[in-house]
């Protein structure tokens, strides 16, 4: 694995190897991640052309825990604003001896363009491109599910909300089918579920209670307002009434079901505060696991594994 651009097409052995490598970075309580010298002398450039809190910060922490030098380009203050192209920016940063580019971009495919452009010793990790793919989120979601549920083969997992605009949903579906989940469901209004879900081996539901019935894992998604035009955009109150996860609605899932969300959450829109702060939510552990998973991805693509 030289670049990580998508989970789609990755063999199960590679996905499992990434998760196992991440587990090796964590201590017994799965919270602390010790500093290791695996990327000493390497330079990681974080290029976030779209906003981020969790992904950008955990990549930064992960690179530092691997002893790499990390550079966070402030895109708003960079020469991108003066019209410099994406690939010219990449050439100039490569001239500063970049080893790994971590790229988030609103255009689907931007990390692929960079991966085709850079030389063989430079690695690209997709940190979210348009509505296409968010592979490290998908991997940390798989890590989280494996942590709490151990085995995928008996699991029914529901992905709920704005699936149409969600790169996380696509990465989770690829991760879950690759790892052999028993059943993957998507649940959402007709306007926000894409047409190709059946081809992806996923069951489609348009009713929340039916869609999460007897599920082991419920993954909630935010309404991606920034990717919607007016006609598609439901009102927050309407949406919450039909698809917002409340403690009462969560009773339809299994009693030991876990509730996940990639963040940022919108309390009272797709999820009730009582669920976010309740005993079944594992939303903050997801964030924590992201550090070890991103360490695993960067050390594997750079060929400097433990």
Please enumerate, by residue number, every residue annotated as part of a binding site: 54-55, 82, 104, 134, 137, 167, 222, 263-264
Q: CA angle 238-244-249, nearest 5°?
A: 125
> Which tokens in the block code for residue 188?
């959402």
Tell me the closest approach of the beta carbon of residue 298 to ligand CP, in angstroms: 16
Tell me the closest approach of the beta carbon of residue 262 to ligand CP, in angstroms: 4
Interacting residue with ligand CP among 12, 37, 41, 53 (CB under 6 A): 53
Q: Which stretch binds ligand CP (CB under 6 A): 34-42, 47-55, 141-149, 197-205?
A: 47-55
Binding site for carbamoyl phosphate, by residue number, is 54-55, 104, 134, 137, 263-264
CB atoms within 10 A of CB 63: 25
- Residue 133 touches ligand CP, criterion: CB under 6 A: no
Cβ neighbours for 2, distance < 8 A, ≥ 6 positions apart: 120, 123, 301
User: What's the sign of the alpha-carbon dihedral 71, 77, 79, 84?
Assistant: positive
**Type and span of the H or E element at 186:** strand 183-187
- Residue 234 touches ligand CP, criterion: CB under 6 A: no
Tell me the closest approach of the beta carbon of residue 127 to ligand CP, in angstroms: 7
Interacting residue with ligand CP among 26, 43, 46, 55 (CB under 6 A): 55
User: What's the sign of the alpha-carbon dihedral 282, 49, 116, 224?
Assistant: positive
> Which tokens in the block code for residue 271?
């999820």
Reduce the DSSP state of residue 174 to 3 states and report it.
helix
Q: How far apart are alpha carbons 143 and 18 in whole angstroms?
A: 9
- Residue 128 touches ligand CP, criterion: CB under 6 A: yes
Q: Which stretch binds ligand CP (CB under 6 A): 75-83, 94-102, 114-122, 256-264?
A: 256-264
What DSSP assignment string belongs to 26-80? B-TTS--B----TTTT-EEEEEESS--SHHHHHHHHHHHHTT-EEEEE-GGGSGG
Distances (CA, A) of 2 to 54, 118, 209, 299: 24, 11, 42, 10
Which CB, 118 or 174, lies closer to ligand CP?
Answer: 174
Binding site for L-aspartate, by residue number, is 82, 167, 222
Tell me the closest approach of the beta carbon of residue 291 to ligand CP, in angstroms: 13
Which CB, 2 or 265, lies closer to ligand CP?
Answer: 265
Tell me the closest approach of the beta carbon of residue 286 to ligand CP, in angstroms: 8
Strands 43-48, 123-129: parallel, antiparallel or unpaired by DSSP?
Answer: unpaired
- Residue 137 touches ligand CP, criterion: CB under 6 A: yes
Give backbone dihedrals phi and psi of 199, rounded to 5 degrees, phi first.
Answer: -65, -25
Tell me the closest approach of the beta carbon of residue 182 to ligand CP, in angstroms: 26
Tell me the closest approach of the beta carbon of residue 250 to ligand CP, in angstroms: 21
Which CB, 94 or 136, lies closer to ligand CP?
Answer: 136
Interacting residue with ligand CP among 142, 262, 283, 302 (CB under 6 A): 262
Which CB, 118 or 260, lies closer to ligand CP?
Answer: 260
Contacting residues toward ligand CP, per CB under 6 A: 52-56, 128, 137, 262-264
């Amino acid at each position: 694995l030289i670049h990580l651009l998508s989970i789609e097409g990755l063999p199960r052995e590679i996905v499992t190897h990434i998760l196992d490598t991440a587990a090796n970075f964590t201590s017994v309580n799965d919270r602390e991640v010790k500093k290791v010298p695996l990327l000493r002398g390497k330079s990681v450039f974080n290029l976030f052309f779209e906003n981020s809190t969790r992904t950008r910060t955990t990549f930064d922490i992960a690179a530092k825990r691997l002893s790499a030098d990390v550079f966070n380009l402030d895109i708003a203050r960079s020469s991108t604003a003066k019209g410099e192209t994406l690939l010219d920016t990449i050439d100039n940063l490569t001239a500063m001896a970049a080893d790994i580019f971590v790229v988030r971009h609103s255009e689907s495919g931007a990390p692929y363009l960079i991966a085709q452009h850079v030389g063989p010793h430079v690695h690209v990790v997709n940190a979210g491109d348009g509505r296409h793919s968010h592979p490290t989120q998908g991997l940390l979601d798989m890590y989280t599910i494996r942590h709490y549920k151990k085995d995928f083969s008996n699991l029914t997992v529901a992905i709920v909300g704005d699936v149409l605009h969600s790169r996380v949903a696509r990465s989770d579906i690829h991760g879950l089918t690759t790892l052999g989940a028993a059943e993957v469901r998507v649940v959402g209004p007709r306007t926000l579920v894409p047409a190709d879900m059946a081809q992806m081996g996923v069951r489609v539901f348009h009713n929340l209670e039916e869609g999460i019935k007897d599920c082991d894992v419920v993954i909630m998604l935010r309404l991606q307002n920034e990717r919607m035009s007016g006609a598609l955009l439901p009102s927050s109150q309407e949406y919450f009434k039909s698809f917002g996860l409340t403690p009462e609605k969560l009773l339809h899932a299994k009693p030991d079901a876990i509730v996940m969300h990639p963040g940022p959450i919108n309390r009272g829109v797709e999820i009730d505060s009582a669920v976010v702060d309740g005993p079944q939510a594992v939303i903050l552990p997801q964030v924590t696991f992201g550090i070890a998973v991103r360490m695993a991805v960067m050390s594997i693509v750079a060929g400097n594994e433990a």
